Structures are given as structure tokens and as C-alpha cells.
Amino acid sequence: MIKLIFITAIVLCSLVAKAQTSTSTATASTSTTKKDGKLASHNSVSVSNSDQAYSLRAEFNVDDYSKIKSVLEKNLERNYRTESANTIKWFKEENAQTAYSFILTGNKLKINVDKDLVSDATFEKLKGLGTKLSAIISAKRD
């Protein structure tokens, strides 16, 4: 009976340990207004990094679109790219699930990476790309 209780306790502890996840979130936002009160630009970046996924949501000044698009095109594989209307998407699938997606629409960028479906090296590359894009979007302008 004591062995059964001991084994049950070990199993429960291991389940609780697996259920715990770590998540870090960072958000940056900048706004610039003209003297006449009209909004000249609004930039915001929100990044979430948990044990299972990495995501980035950004809204940026339309003037940065070309630079962001160029960085994405230089760093992501062309064969995962599709384009329609004003949206450019990069999707990679693994085992019929989305391993990562980058969606650029107008002045918005969405990134999702499933850490269970990409290698550590690929994750680090994609996270570095997210960091680079965040820096472009968050850059101070005069």
C-alpha cells in the first residue's frame, strides 16, 4: 500500500512539473503627432515567448513597410511564400501543422512559431529575425 501511494505521488508530481510553463512578454509602443494634432505615426510591438510558442504582433508606420518586407524576403525561404492583394505570407508546415508563419499586411506584422515543430537552431534564427524587425519598428524617428 505504501508503494502504491509513493508511486502515485511521484506520478502526480511529474504531471504538475510538466504542466508548468514559462512565458515572457514584452510590449513597446511609440506615437508621434504633428503640431497640428494629426497623428503622424504609431508603432507598437508585442512579443510573447513561452515554452511552446513565440509570437510577435506589430503595427508600424507605413513608411517602414518596404524595409520590413525586404528583411523578411532576405531571411525567409521563397518557397514558403504566398502573396494575395496586400498580404504576403510565409508558412512552413510540419506534420500537417503550422511550424511558423509570418504575415505582412499593410502596416501590420504577425509572427507565430511553434517551438515543438521547429529545431532549436531554426527557432533561434526566427527569434533573431523577430528581434531585428522589432528594432526597425521601434526605432526613434525625428
Q: Quick check: 83 pLDDT over 50?
A: yes
- Following DSSP, what letter does each residue of 83-121 receive, concatenated? EETTEEEEEEEETTEEEEEEEEETTEEEEEEETTTS-HH
Condensed to tens digits (0 to 9), the pLDDT of residues 28-78 reads 555 555 445 655 667 899 999 999 999 999 999 988 999 999 999 999 999
Q: Tell me what the pLDDT averaged over the chain comes to.
A: 82
- Quick one: which of 71, 88, 81 has its CA closest to 132? 71
Cell 496586400 found at: 86
Q: Is the pLDDT of residue 115 over 80?
A: yes
Q: Where are the domains of the chain?
A: 23-138
**CA 6 to CA 8: how far, in whole Å?**
5
